[in-house]
A = this chain, B = another copy of it.
């Protein structure tokens, strides 16, 4: 890798600073990372060999240590910048329990609680004296919130709510930190007063005793079992059988029930939607994009170290990176990491701008923001998790071992396609907004992420050279044209079907396969456009700007080449132009390849974060693999116990099988 690093033609540290958002940010991040890595109690250790139980227990231990020992020692608090950065993509990662407590329970308390309620529970939560979960999903319902079955019936006489799960499928199911850790739940239930239903409301419910940690009466709670990943989290089930809580435990920023049973709505819950956008941007960055960046780092470094096969017959073996098919597997995902990272940043910034507008009582930007975040959530989480799996396979046999680190990275990134809004459902939400836009574009001027729809002129691409297809303005135009045209086509089909008498819900369903594709086109357009215009504004050295331009073009071209059908069908590109775009992508791969190691080094993931024998900074793959393997649980004894018994049977001796 040393030799590879020698040929990188840009300043890696400069790019790291840009990625971090400034040199100061890099400095602070490294300071935090160093503290973590130098503390043996909190540094990761061989998670790839642990059982589910060990992972959970270790996660609890690490988290408690972090908050109760390390923070005070360093003079940090849960809200100081150093700590908020932990929760971001660049640091200690997910090998820690209580993620829902810190990342969902507390923020929701702040969103739903009255000032009084916040004053009562927040300090306890911050000190981990209460540990909370966010319990919304039930066994039978996740996506369709109105279908949730748990009820909170107001008992006027006792001034209490009675929380009840009427059947097995009404049990809360999946909430993180619920199974074994939490003693409180911020629980969503159907409010019922005098037999009348008022919809879903948030309640604070204590579920375990604060001293013995035993479940309270009427409560059945436990872990839901092993799963693809997230071993440190005890996603749980919770059954409530006529459990009584005080009236004051309805979190009442938005709605309140008076002692006499009168129901009062207060603020609108639009705010809540706004904060969901923020959560989404953070989750995307920390769970999906950074996971992709880690997988890229591992696969690129390993591909440079791994020598296998002769390229030129009779010559020495080459690193597998020399194969074009390998470059095609890796480099577009390096590019994707960069472009989606900045697209997520843009989403966060858009949210911040929105909160400023909201202070002036202007919430007109919400629908667009909401649609954009839903679409981004689905497209980015899918692109990233698919990419991680391709990167894993690109490591050949060793990619299949936990030693590579990628299986664990993938297993939590892929969950992001499902939680916080199932991806297809998110795509269709975004689609609804886009269809509305395209139907209004003749009369209303579109702004923000849909502004490109204003330009409705028909045209075709005029580029006729390979180099032309590396121009960012050309690529942006391709994506905008294509996104607009597939949207127009889908909207046309919809209105055609309804005009011919189909009910609109049915027409929607009949068009939903196309609509999913529309949103993918819209979002890749957003990602490419955002990055391209970001580069223009960026102040940096020429070599760094160059490499960022190449990355943007590579991402765009790899998207075009993966769906040439769309571009041909809308008549924007000709078959010959598609060939040029393909050649442009191949040329870019060769251009970027010498910088590959620099591009992943610039992400600056420490070895501690990567947890990979294949992807460590020094490229010392084989020694690490051997050292790691020796720690396999099966190697605890030279002869596994069962094998003796097995051999007894094999040899016909008696055994108690």
The residues of B that contact A65 with a CB separation of less than 8 Å are 649, 657
- In the assembled complex, the Cα of A586 lies from the Cα of B505 at a distance in Å of 17
List CB contacts (< 8 Å) of A122-174 with chain B: 127-129, 137, 139-144, 147, 168-169, 171, 173-174
Would you call B180 and A643 a contact (CB within 8 A)? yes
How far is the CB of A136 from the nearest CB of chain B, in Å? 11
Considering the complex, give the chain B residue whose CB is closest to the CB of A137: B397
Interface: A551 (CB within 8 A): no
Q: What would 10 more interface pairs be, CB under 8 Å, given A179-B634, A324-B510?
A: A60-B642, A64-B657, A180-B640, A224-B629, A225-B401, A225-B631, A226-B633, A237-B629, A564-B564, A568-B569
Binds B, one of A262-270, A416-424, A593-601: A416-424
Q: Nearest-CB distance from A604 to chain B (Å)? A: 27
Within 8 Å CB of A650, what residues of B? 64, 68, 127-129
Identical copies in the complex: 2
Bound-state Cα–Cα, A389 to B388, Å: 13
User: Which of A281-289, A310-318, A450-458 is the interface stretch?
Assistant: A310-318
Q: Is A71 an interface residue (CB 8 A)?
A: no
A644 near B213 with CB under 8 A, answer: yes
* Pairwise interchain contact B634-A234, C-beta atoms closer than 8 A: yes
Within 8 A of B (CB), among A300-328: 307-313, 317, 322-326, 328
- Chain B residues with CB under 8 Å of A328's CB are 513
Q: Tell me if A646 and B61 are in contact (CB < 8 A).
A: yes
A424-B325 contact, Cβ under 8 Å, with A168-B623, A632-B222, A633-B51 = yes
Per-residue CB proximity of A406-437 to B under 8 Å, as 1/0? 01000000110111001110001000000000
A493-515: CB near B (< 8 Å → 1, else 0) gives 00000000001011001101110
A31-68 residues with Cβ-Cβ distance < 8 A to B are: 41, 48-49, 51-53, 56-57, 60-61, 64-65, 68
Residue of B nearest to A208 (CB): B639
Mark each residue of chain A from 615 to 646: 1 if its CB lies under 8 Å from any CB of chain B, else 0. 00000001101101111111100111111111
Cα A447 to Cα B403 with chains together (Å): 46
**In the complex, chain B residues whose CB is within 8 Å of the CB of A529:** none
Structural contact, A237 and B323, CB atoms closer than 8 A: no
16 residue pairs bridging A and B, Cβ less than 8 Å apart: A51-B633, A52-B634, A64-B657, A65-B657, A139-B625, A143-B308, A144-B310, A180-B634, A213-B643, A224-B401, A227-B400, A397-B422, A400-B415, A513-B586, A564-B566, A571-B575
Q: A170 vs B422: C-alpha distance in the bound complex, in angstroms?
A: 46
Q: With both chains docked as a complex, state the minimum distance between the C-beta of A393 and any C-beta of chain B, in angstroms.
A: 6
Bound CA–CA A628/B222 (angstroms): 12
Q: Residues of B contacting A313 with CB < 8 Å?
A: 505
Interface flag for A293 (CB, 8 Å): no
Q: Which residues of B contact A16 (CB under 8 A)?
A: none
Q: Is the CB of B181 within 8 A of A643?
A: yes
A interface residues (Cβ-Cβ under 8 A, vs B): 41, 48-49, 51-53, 56-57, 60-61, 64-65, 68-69, 127-129, 137, 139-144, 147, 168-169, 171, 173-174, 179-181, 212-215, 222-228, 234, 237, 307-313, 317, 322-326, 328-329, 389, 393, 396-397, 399-403, 407, 414-415, 417-419, 422-424, 428, 503, 505-506, 509-510, 512-514, 516, 563-569, 571, 575, 578-579, 582, 586, 622-623, 625-626, 628-635, 638-647, 649-651, 657
CB distance from A12 to the nearest CB of B (A): 28
Q: Which residues of B contact A407 (CB under 8 A)?
A: 227-228
B575 touches A324 (CB 8 A): no
A308 in contact with B639 (CB, 8 Å)? no
Q: Is the CB of B640 within 8 A of A56?
A: yes
Closest to A48 in B: B226
Q: Say yes or no: A64 contacts B646, CB within 8 Å.
A: yes
**Among candidates B179, B571, B632, residue contacting A223 with C-beta atoms closer than 8 Å:** B632
List residues of chain B with CB within 8 A of the CB of A423.
393
Given A401-B224, A512-B325, A640-B180, is A308 in contact with B57 using a C-beta cutoff of 8 Å?
Answer: no
